[in-house]
A = this chain, B = another copy of it.
Amino acid sequence: MSEALRVTVWNEFRHERSNPQVGAVYSDGIHAALAGPLREAGHEVRTATLDEPGHGLGGDVLASTDVLLWWGHKAHDEVEDEVARQVQSRVLDGMGLVALHSAHFSKPFKLLMGTSCDLKWRVADERERLWVVAPGHPVAEGLPERIELEREEMYGEPFDIPPPEELVLVSWFQGGEVFRSGCCFRRGRGRIFYFRPGHETYPTYHEPVVQRVVLNAVRWARPTAGPVPARGRSEPLERLG
């Protein structure tokens, strides 16, 4: 790792505590499973969860986050609108966002996309195979040409997102569907990566190859120290008239 980033992993952290099957897979929460490999890679990682005050994102947490990971599912509505808007605003200001799996329906992601983000789904213990369609993309670094997940939830097209600016991964599902599973978006000065896998009952985030995608996505989504745009009323730079 060339550059240590300040990463915050946000997790709803409900399934793990209410569903023993999920708790068995992610005993310390999905956030802990995601945070581990990022720490090992040298990043400065914090976690935050829904039931903490301010959802764990109060104070200067967002302001001091380079890249935010977001996993949520059954409690999207409990996220305060104001916090969702703050995440949106920070992305426009340069913070990276890695939206994971059911975060397609999270408030911050939907605000940033402007679309319904709806899709097909099915939980049936089926096989998913993610194909790299952009082998030269930074998110594909160190990956094999396909990722096999023996059991995952199915997400099917048409996925109602804006056309991604870069499409890195496309999934094949045993039941007959396809899905754009690794999607890059630029919004304001920030970058967003959507990554499909990660249903809570499967050990997906324990897979090293999946951890590698997340690691690459975090690195790709890091802020750039570009110009801070001046906006509003502007004096002419050339003589008029």
Interface residues, chain A, with chain B CB atoms under 8 Å away:
2-3, 88, 92, 94, 111-116, 118-122, 124-126, 129, 131-138, 140-145, 154, 156-160, 162-163, 165-167, 170-178, 180, 185-191, 223-238, 240-241
Contact = CB atoms under 8 A, between A and B. Distances in A.
A230 B177 CA distance: 12
A140 B170 contact: no
B237 A135 contact: no
Chain A contact residues, majority secondary structure:
loop
Contacts of A178: 131, 133, 170-172, 178
B226 A118 contact: no
A236 B223 CA distance: 40
Given A114-B114, A234-B154, A165 B167 contact: no
B122 A236 contact: yes
10 contacts: A2-B2, A120-B230, A121-B232, A126-B240, A133-B157, A135-B228, A158-B229, A167-B167, A172-B176, A176-B236
A180 B226 contact: no
Nearest to A158: B229
Contacts of A113: 114
A203 to B, nearest CB: 19
Given A135-B229, A141-B226, A172-B178, A186 B157 contact: no
Contact of A126 (B121, B230, B236): B236
Contact of A158 (B94, B134, B176, B232): B134
